[in-house]
Chains A and B, each alone.
Chain A
């Protein structure tokens, strides 16, 4: 675990430093730029799906889905980030109580 923590930690710093140090023209290749822009979209969407609808290697539908539903409504209403996140956990926790 420590290897993963240190490796990813140092790696993430080097990725930031590379951004501030590389000449801007590395992005001039349009395919490189498009792929780089789309990676966070794909990964974040996959993380939302996996965090909400799976447990281990099983697909699940539980209180987390209601929490995510709250998050969608809160984001549509342009609520602040903290309301979105805290609200989603409260909804999930309350659902589990009833």
Chain B
């Protein structure tokens, strides 16, 4: 990792790219707010999820389980399991960011798919920090504003099926999964996990099928041999990033 100083051109390019990701991801917070309220959470609970949990896939997972009639705590368990992915991002980002104390504690809050993707690929430490922080903070601000707006709008609209919002959730999970499907073993795991989950739907309480599918990861991980080349997202893999 080079400690070279960024020239103004590189600096503004990183800021521009990061803000674009922030804007695209933030807009998508509208959908979260609306879906969450439609799932039975209050406006306050919806906003606290975005402020405190602040990791989109886990938030959608929690409200998805609740919407299907599952126990809130099995929704929480699914959210936490999905949240372990941010731990992996942290392990990769820590030596690049090299922050300690309160800076590290603050950085941890905006450690998500998007900030990792826009930070990890930079050649210099300043570039990593700038990409990570600009993306993380702009997503945080816009995601929370959009969540509040979506929750208020969702409260007014009522049934999420009216605008096909229920279909948006599946599509969003698929879009998050997509970059990882470049790896063939991941495709196998994904197909097995989906099959296990659907098999469990009629015979278990809502929320259990998704957790049970996590068992597929455990099984394949223990008997498999190869490492996954797609574990950390790149700039191509997030909303508003370059394709």
Contacts and interface: CB of A to CB of B under 8 A. Distances in A.
Bind each other: yes
Interface of A: 1-13, 15-22, 24, 26-27, 30-31, 33-59, 63-64, 66-68, 70-72, 75, 78, 80-82, 84-94, 96
Interface of B: 24-25, 27-28, 31, 40-42, 45, 48-49, 52-55, 57-58, 60-62, 64, 66, 68-69, 72-73, 75-76, 78-91, 93-95, 97, 99, 104-105, 107-109, 111, 161-178, 180, 186, 189-198, 201-202, 205-206, 209-210, 212-218, 220-222, 224, 226-228, 231, 238-240, 243
Contact of A39 (B53, B76, B84, B176): B84
A22 B193 CA distance: 29
Contact of B89 (A3, A19, A39, A57): A19
A60 B209 CA distance: 15
Contacts of B86: 12, 15-16, 19
A63 B169 CA distance: 13
B31 to A, nearest CB: 7
How would you classify the secondary structure of chain A's contact residues: helix, strand, loop or mixed? helix
A54 B95 CA distance: 43
How would you classify the secondary structure of chain B's contact residues: helix, strand, loop or mixed? helix
A14 to B, nearest CB: 9
Given A1-B72, A4-B73, A50 B87 contact: no
Given A54-B68, A78-B243, A47 B210 contact: yes
B82 A56 contact: no
Nearest to B236: A78
A41 B217 contact: yes
Given A18-B87, A48-B173, A11 B52 contact: no
